Amino acid sequence: MIHPTYPLPADFQTRMCAMLGPDYPSFLASYKKPRENGLRVNPLKTTPGEFQRSCPFSLEKIPWTENGFFYGQEARPAQHPLYRCGLYYLQEPSAMAPAALLPVQPGDRVLDLCAAPGGKATELGARLDGQGLLVANDPSSTRAKALLRNLESFGVSNCFVTNESPAHLADAFPGFFDKILVDAPCSGEGMFRKEPAAIKTWSLEKSDSCAKMQREILRHAVHMLAPGGLLLYSTCTFAPIENEGSAAYVLETFPEMDLLPLPKEHGFSPGMPAWGNEDPRLERCLRLWPHRCRGEGHFLALFQKDGLKETDNKKRKRQKKDQKISRTERKLLEDFLSPFIPALSMPFDWERVEIRGDRAYLLPEGLPPVKGLKFLRNGLFLGELKKNRFEPSQPLAMTLTARAPARLDLPCTDARIDRYLHGESLSVSADGCTVASGWALLCVEGSPLGWGKLVNGTFKNKYPAGWR
């Protein structure tokens, strides 16, 4: 509900009344209702059905996404151990629609251009299922760090996390991506109920400046889209200049781009040509209104670029790249990783293993040379090579499944889980772990949480300080 300290701005109310007409009282009344809470299940680690059957709090299906659920105000999902295992992501229900409506398939080359903190990027990465490439970018270094953490927690292994401007990315990836998501920075009107403090920074002028920024971002996104590729543009605002106005800009400026129809169901409404340039194709866009669906305000437009999509064979030829590692490095990695490879949630290819300094990475497939770009992570960080031994990484732990050969599996109610998350070592009975000594995964009811090293009945904690 709108906080009494932050009433809706008069200019906002005047514009919304003019836009909605007889619907305006219902729209205004929606601000007196509590916001909806949602979580999205991670298909890399479980299925929606399995999660719903074992979930300790009540869930209700969100109709516009296969793996999203409403949960009640009384639930505390962020405090549950399975959240720390990356089994689900907490996300506002309407915000799940953009990634759900961009049809990403395993093997695609995907760009999330404005990706932090990662709500949509984690879903796109999960649907790639370890195949193809996800480039997840945010120009803010602080926000990019949060983005990386969420992707690693989700077990997304095939990502290239960048901290760049759209212009620099466009120079590096011309005509490269099969699918692009632009969840653009906007005036945030659709989040007023969720984040009342956003009202303080709102103005009509802010919408104008956001629209200019959005069109600059879209210009670079179109440049990076491959022939036949799809670009989904979304905002969390009601402002026509940022929504139909920006969609109309793409249609007018890039004749090779066309709008595809999006489903008008679940209370979703069509775009309004009169709020753009009168192009009837703008009706193919979607508007999500808080008084018509169970979520906050959103706008979506799905574009397709003219031309034939590149064949899979051509993609593979372009992706071929040799990686060199020494025999000693290869043996250290094989000795540790070989038993765990069957438990990885993605394909493992030794040709894509790269050593940088003392760190080992599994590179994503299909990434071309990217000299000069600022990035936080290229592929899956496997671990570190130290004095003739290998120490596995936390991101590697998060990509593993319950099939891991060395593991200590605890029920959600075990008090040792909380102690582990706070960095403490644990006592383990003789039959409590699948191995008597050495590296093992701590799992919560089959879902990996992090590494430990078993020594004389003590599970020495290897959970990174930065994850606690």
Using CA atoms, how far apart are residues 295 and 289, in angstroms rounded to an integer? 8
Using CA atoms, how far apart are residues 118 and 161, in angstroms rounded to an integer? 11
Beta bridge partners of 375: 162
Tokens linked to 27: 């729209």
Using CA atoms, how far apart are residues 183 and 260, in angstroms rounded to an integer? 17
Q: Strand 380-386 vs strand 37-41: parallel, antiparallel, or unpaired?
A: unpaired
Known catalytic residue at 236:
yes
The type of residue at 211 is A
Using CA atoms, how far apart are residues 337 and 354, in angstroms rounded to an integer? 14
| 274-278 contacts, C-beta under 8 A, 24 or more apart | 275/19, 275/240, 275/243, 275/244, 275/245, 276/240, 276/243, 276/244, 276/245, 276/247, 276/248, 277/244, 277/245, 277/248, 277/251, 277/252
User: What is the DSSP annotation of 113-124?
Assistant: TT-TT-HHHHHH
Asked if residue 330 lies in contact with residue 360, where contact means CB atoms within 8 angstroms, the answer is: no
Q: Would you tell me how many other CB atoms lie within 10 Å of the CB of residue 289?
A: 21
Beta bridge partners of 354: 361
Which single residue is written with the structure tokens 């600022």? 374
Using CA atoms, how far apart are residues 210 and 192, in angstroms rounded to an integer? 17
Beta bridge partners of 377: 161
> Residue 466 contacts by C-beta under 8 Å, 6 or more apart in sequence?
none
Within the chain, what is the greatest distance between any pair of CA atoms? 74
Using CA atoms, how far apart are residues 41 and 49, in angstroms rounded to an integer? 10
Exactly one of 236, 285, 293, 443 is catalytic; name it: 236
Catalytic residue set: 236
